[in-house]
Amino acid sequence: MSMFIPDSPNERVVIVGAGFAGLHLARKLAKQSFQVVLLDKNNYHQFQPLFYQVAMAGLEPSSIVFPLRKLFQKNKNVFIRMAEVQSVKADQKILQTSIGELPYDKLILAMGATTNFFGNKKLESMALPMKTVGEALCIRNSILEDYESSILTGDYDDRQGLIDIVVVGGGPTGVEVCGALAEMKRYVLPKDFKELNSSEVDIHLIQSSPVLLKGMSAKASKAAYDFLTDLDVHVKLNTRVTDFDGDYVYMNDGSRIRCQKLIWAAGIRANQIEGIPEVSTGSGGRLKVDAYNQITGMTDVYAIGDMAIMESEATPYGHPQVAQVAIQQADNLAKNLKATRRGKLMKAFVYKDRGALATIGRHRAVADLPAMKIKGAFAWFIWLFVHLFKILGSKNKLFVFINWMWNYFTYDQSLRLIIRPTRRPKKKDLNP
């Protein structure tokens, strides 16, 4: 199959991945004298920080995704293709994909990361991850379907298995999911499922380390713990989940929890691509890069965002895998690509930490800002403003704002729909 990318006198920059890093880089190069080819397995950008709100029926998926083609309608030098990348032939400067081979002048890998189950295949097959909008919808369906089943279940133990939820991982995603679940238990279930005693619902957060929000300050960690326990979330620290059979979650201290839903938010691992030298791969599958984000041992191949690990004395374990780093690396690389085309020297990447945020529910949030560390309602409003500002599209911003305001004043969401995928007819294979 041909990609039908026309020849161009301009340098061809191929960007793999339309997450925060890849999309930001493509937008920075869209008006420059490059031919930009943006590859992604989806035709939209996903706003990952709000996946948990889709999973908790607070937002519709359409509010946090944005079509890639709409972003580049006026950029004739930008070509978008839906494809899965298979391997890179660095010696030939060719990228092998599911829709054919693509020659490149510069290749930027921004494929992000996927859920890390740390080699536990049983957990990988049974737990519910949340790294895509599709996975978030799957969690929403699972929760609502089990609540529907619970009101038809007379046996107490069987009912507990349906309504109790275990979340693994005490990072921002884990605490935000637990906060949203606790608010659903407190404000939604008594109205929607009057036959169900909502006090029977137990929400468990399991964290392997001794603190929550490990990358944030001790003040933020303690505040998150206090907020969650105030919402009746059962927080268990210094505990590791070892197994899940669909009925019970087992832990390394010998205890178990009756539960049919295990939400996994315990770690990430960089997505992989063949053709990268073994010496270029670091911890967590991340690709080792120099100060200019060029992959160690490769020429004209770069990695940015969650895929990249830039080791130095200041960052021996690389930068945190967050959107801030991805966007700043993309911005710096765009400037360097323009500089090299003009024969100028590249500038090394320097990360500017603008702070970290996490929300645990209404008026419950923590913010580690460069100038201060705050918690409570003020931090919550900062969280709302920052995330609303970052969402792509004015229409999406408006819909998210309306949903948030409606939920704020009514303590209710109107999106608790179970939407199942349906079979679609098989299409004729045009390329046998």
Q: Is the pTM of this model over 0.75?
A: yes
**Residue 389 forms part of a structural domain:** no
Mean pLDDT across 179-206: 93
CB neighbours of 300 closer than 8 A, spacing ≥ 6?
A: 93, 104, 105, 106, 107, 294
**Residue 346 forms part of a structural domain:** no
Same domain, 295 and 238: no
Count of domains for the chain: 2
Amino acid present at 136: A
- Cα separation, 82 vs 73, in Å, equals 16
Same domain, 214 and 275: no
Read off the pLDDT of residues 255-271 as tens digits, 9 standing for 90 and up: 999 999 999 999 899 99
Read off the pLDDT of residues 102-120 as tens digits, 9 standing for 90 and up: 999 999 999 999 999 999 9
Choose the final residue of a domain: 266, 297, 322. Answer: 266
- Domain hosting residue 221, numbered range: 121-266
Amino acid present at 200: E
Q: Which residue has the tokens 């160690």?
A: 296
Choose the final residue of a domain: 317, 341, 365. Answer: 341
Measured CA to CA in angstroms, residue 204 lies from 178, 196, 259 at distances of 8, 19, 10
Same domain, 152 and 259: yes
- 10 Å CB burial of residue 180 (0-12, 13-18, 19+) is buried
Same domain, 224 and 251: yes
Q: In terms of Cα–Cα distance, which of 80, 84, 20, 67 is closest to 48?
A: 20
Confidence check: pLDDT of 88 > 90: yes
Task: Tell me the pLDDT band of 427, cut-offs 50, 70 and 90.
Answer: low
- Cα separation, 140 vs 149, in Å, equals 14
**Contact of 321 with 48, CB cutoff 8 Å:** no
**Contact of 304 with 326, CB cutoff 8 Å:** yes
Same domain, 197 and 306: no
Confidence check: pLDDT of 32 > 80: yes
Helix 218-230 with 172-183: angle, nearest 10 deg: 20
Same domain, 154 and 239: yes
Give the ranges where 231-368 is alpha helix by DSSP (H).
323-341
- Cα separation, 188 vs 196, in Å, equals 11
Is the pLDDT higher at 407 or at 85? 85
Q: In terms of Cα–Cα distance, which of 153, 168, 262, 255 is closest to 208?
A: 168
Task: Tell me the pLDDT band of 428, cut-offs 50, 70 and 90.
Answer: low
Same domain, 250 and 287: no
Q: Which pLDDT belongs to residue 432?
A: 46
**DSSP of 393-425:** SHHHHHHHHHHHHHHHHHS--S----------P
Confidence check: pLDDT of 71 > 60: yes
Same domain, 58 and 128: no
Same domain, 215 and 272: no
Same domain, 158 and 222: yes
CATH no. for residue 288?
Answer: 3.50.50.60
